[in-house]
Amino acid sequence: MALRAQLILDWEDGLSYAESAQKNNVSEMTISKWRKRFKAQGVKGLHDKQRSGKPPEITVEQRKKVVHLACSTPPGGRQRRSQTEIAEEVGISQSMVSEILRAEHLQPHKTEYWCGKSPDPKFEEKMIAIVGLYLDPPKKALVLSVDEKTQIQALDRTQPELPLKKAKNRKLTTTYKRNGTANLIAALAVHEGEITGRELPRNNAENFLKFLHVLDRKYRNVQIHLIMDNLRVHKSKKVTQWLDKKRKFHVHYTPTYSSWLNQIEIWFSILSRKVLKDAVWNSKKQLVDALMNYIKYYNEHKAKPFEWTYGKKHVN
């Protein structure tokens, strides 16, 4: 109503259609509509016309109940109610439930995640050290971000897949069979983007130490800053004793519950989307070959440093 009244006042002040449209951020057609309505009916013409049909009657109590049900945990082990379930409980239509939730800015079907506060008393000290390595690494030093992605399942389907065709989506059976699991260990050279990866028969200290030997041989005559989480394997006696003897390795553990600080997790996310999602593997070997082939492809065509920024509210 305020906008419509302003359009009429602009008319009274002698503003043209174009001038009033620019001032109020509306179209000239809108201005024409309300000028005509005002000329014919006066102030009454600025009100909405009576609509046909009986408007739905939603009581204040029903509106409150919709909000309450949307924001509360339902019984029976369920985590949330659907809009249809809320509508049935309140006795209104699903479309009215949707309208009420929109008006109240409620989206019960969505969940946002954030990084909870780490209980590590040295969180800030460790975080600053790692972020410092990312943003301002020591000269002639290599920063490696290391972690494992374990229990990758080689899932096959009980029926052949139906490939993507025009007007038809790719289809997979919901039933599957397992052909074993694979464990991948990988190191990201943070400022080059290169990935070094190996399959782990088992995720234990002995195999982790073998991977460190691989890194030692690959990156000779350079100081290595190793970023990894607090997994027991990473802190085993065998591993720590070997690292103590190797002066070229400088270890930086991420704070407790803060493995998101480790950039290799970004690459694992890429791997999951590009290689593992909805994939079909006839054998564990086929899965492992695909992982190794992707690492080779990534290093040849995609490897580059991540544009990584850290802030109090988010990490990109």
Name the token pair of 122: 């040295």
Residue 150's closest CA among 180, 182, 177?
A: 182
Same-domain pairing of 134 and 159: yes
Same-domain pairing of 137 and 42: no
Average pLDDT of the segment spanning 226-242:
95
Same-domain pairing of 30 and 130: no
pLDDT tops 80 at residue 314? no
Would you say residue 16 lies in a domain?
A: yes
pLDDT tops 60 at residue 148? yes
Q: Which residue has the tokens 């407790």?
A: 256
Give the separation between CA 139 and CA 82, rounded to whole angstroms: 56
Would you say residue 53 lies in a domain?
A: no
pLDDT band at 316 (very low <50, low <70, confident <90, very high): very low
Would you say residue 306 lies in a domain?
A: no
- Residue 251's DSSP bridge partners are 226
Instruction: Kindly report whether the global pTM for this prediction surpasses the value 0.85.
Output: no
Cα→Cα distances 107→92, 206, 313, Å: 18, 48, 21
Instruction: Say which residues have a Cβ less than 8 Å from residue 6's Cβ, sequence separation at least 6.
Output: 24
Write down the H helix ranges in the chain: 2-12, 17-24, 28-41, 60-71, 83-90, 94-103, 123-135, 205-218, 237-245, 264-271, 284-301
Range of the structural domain that residue 254 is part of: 123-301
Would you say residue 118 lies in a domain?
A: no
Give the separation between CA 66 and CA 86, rounded to whole angstroms: 7
Would you say residue 111 lies in a domain?
A: no
Would you say residue 183 lies in a domain?
A: yes
Name the token pair of 24: 């109020």
Same-domain pairing of 287 and 143: yes
Would you say residue 71 lies in a domain?
A: yes
Percentage of residues in the chain having pLDDT higher than 90: 75
Average pLDDT of the segment spanning 292-314:
84
Same-domain pairing of 166 and 237: yes
Same-domain pairing of 138 and 274: yes
CATH number for the domain that contains residue 291 = 3.30.420.10
Would you say residue 110 lies in a domain?
A: no
More confident residue, 313 or 293: 293
Number of domains in the chain: 3
Name the token pair of 222: 């350079």
Average pLDDT of the segment spanning 293-314:
83
Same-domain pairing of 67 and 28: no
Average pLDDT of the segment spanning 36-63:
84
Same-domain pairing of 268 and 129: yes
What pLDDT is recorded for position 71?
Answer: 94
Q: Which residue has the tokens 């043209």?
A: 16
pLDDT band at 159 (very low <50, low <70, confident <90, very high): confident
Average pLDDT of the segment spanning 121-133:
93
Same-domain pairing of 130 and 237: yes
Same-domain pairing of 97 and 198: no
